[in-house]
Chain A
């Protein structure tokens, strides 16, 4: 298990004040953060106001030393026993870094495998299996500079798995990828946890991705933990509004009046907009489901329903709600 306890990271940043003067300021990127990574589970790290996520990943992967607090990986301290920890972890970042563009996919994996102490047939077999796993076996001997963005990202995954890490950190892994490739990648990540028992920490700006993949979510604001739960509990716990949307062909004054009354009775809100197709789109928001009374009301007014949909609050709504609350 990876256990981060009361981890804090402070950067010292130099600021130039004119030609010869400079001033050092301290920036607290992570403050008193604690979390656990368990094999077979995916946890998400979401940030409200920037900084903190990448720093956390870099501390867990031994690239950065925490200013205070401890990170232990299967009992090894990430600072004192960094060599042992490095053998158990790996990181995959979004974008097109962390690969040698002039080497082929296979040569990249050969090099990184060697840096992890793999040699001979064991390395060869591992590379073949990873290339098959990420669908790059056919392109294995093509230089990376000729790979598409999606192929580079898949090779990154293979590189991140070359040492068969127990703990995997994914920092914006689908950044800039086309939707079908991103979906394929999400499927792969899900399998890594479910079938291969990897403990995965994921950060992403695409909140639906976190919602789809993660068993638990940690929400941090300015490096400080503000919420931690499953995505479902997080959305339920805040009692956010459910949106009920109905499209009708016409809107009489009496129906408009009754809709206003309905919203008042249920303590919600309403938005009405005329669409390009000369129809009316009515959106009712509230904590209680208003589907049944709305349909009764429309039946009473003999108004046909062209479209009806309900939108449950998402993790994105939770983040936006928290951001609004903390920004206020």
Chain B
């Protein structure tokens, strides 16, 4: 499995060097920076620094700017991971290489692992740029529990990877990337607590946040960065994330297998 992951990592890096997807990278950075700027201007000029009394109670902090900036950065990170992994098979299909890959006895786990490992380089870059811009606009990093934050970040990558498998299956099913991914991203941005706490949503909408790995991941990451929480303090969020990862992994693996067959059946001659 690991040599397949390594080969896929090298292949993607070579392709990236020759045809770097700048449009996606810039798009993700712009979207994150936009969230930072929106939070900054809204907080200072619309709300004049006044927060709803409930905010502190729900988030454990009065630092709204750090809350929103981390939300924007983490959302961009989630979107990037989801996009890069979920689009891998449908890209093979579109470029006419899917059959050649499926002909081999290689483990699909290794293939996806290589994809996720390679895309981490890009997402780490995007995340760092957004956090850096965020630091200029009010993001406080001085309380950060670095090790806990890094660990949460790594575990979140795993959770987004599992969710990406399900998204990838849906893309193969609908033979579409644009509408499928953007519908999910819009819902994710709205229900996962990116710029405001989930309890602010109408009650009937709140359960949607529970099925998005971004919600517990973001909650745990914010606690580690804004309040300097140690890892054991965010265990409930990590368990929530682990449970979602497991569910998405099972559905994703099953879905990808089914969709691979379905795609092959639909191109008959």
* CB-CB nearest in chain A for B92: A100
Within 8 A of A (CB), among B1-52: 3-4, 6-8, 10-11, 14-15, 18-19
Contact A91 B268 (CB under 8 A): no
Taking A97-B97, A114-B4 as contacts, is the C-beta distance between A55 and B268 under 8 angstroms? Answer: yes
* CB-CB nearest in chain B for A11: B268
Cβ 8 A contact of B95, one of A11, A51, A100:
A100
B101-109, B147-155, B182-190, B192-200 - interface stretch: B101-109
User: What is the 8 Å Cβ interface bit string for chain A, positions 46-78, against chain B (1 contact, 0 not)?
Assistant: 000001011100100111110000000000000
In the complex, how many angstroms separate the beta carbon of B145 from the nearest chain A beta carbon? 39
A143 to B6, CA, bound (A): 21
In the complex, how many angstroms separate the beta carbon of A10 from the nearest chain B beta carbon? 10
Cβ 8 A contact of B103, one of A54, A91, A97:
A91
B176 interface residue per 8 A CB criterion: no
In the complex, how many angstroms separate the beta carbon of A312 from the nearest chain B beta carbon? 32
**Chain A residues touching B, majority SS:** mixed
Contact B102 A100 (CB under 8 A): no
Within 8 A of B (CB), among A76-130: 82-84, 86-87, 89-91, 93, 95-103, 107, 110-112, 114-117, 119
Taking A87-B105, A117-B105 as contacts, is the C-beta distance between A98 and B96 under 8 angstroms? Answer: yes
Cβ 8 A contact of A103, one of B14, B106, B268:
B14
B203 interface residue per 8 A CB criterion: no
A61 to B18, CA, bound (A): 32
In the complex, how many angstroms separate the beta carbon of B99 from the nearest chain A beta carbon? 6
Residues of chain A at interface, number, CB under 8 A: 42
* CB-CB nearest in chain B for A87: B105
Contact A111 B99 (CB under 8 A): no
Contact B106 A116 (CB under 8 A): yes
Contact A159 B11 (CB under 8 A): no
Cβ 8 A contact of B104, one of A29, A84, A86:
A86
Contact A103 B105 (CB under 8 A): no
B100 interface residue per 8 A CB criterion: yes
Contact B105 A86 (CB under 8 A): yes
Taking A115-B4, A115-B7 as contacts, is the C-beta distance between A63 and B269 under 8 angstroms? Answer: no
**11 A-B pairs whose Cβ atoms sit less than 8 Å apart in the complex:** A53-B269, A54-B269, A55-B268, A64-B268, A97-B96, A98-B96, A100-B95, A102-B18, A103-B15, A114-B106, A117-B106
List residues of A whose CB falls within 8 A of some B CB.
11, 29, 51, 53-55, 58, 61-65, 82-84, 86-87, 89-91, 93, 95-103, 107, 110-112, 114-117, 119, 143, 159, 163
List residues of B whose CB falls within 8 A of some A CB.
3-4, 6-8, 10-11, 14-15, 18-19, 95-97, 99-106, 261, 264-265, 268-269
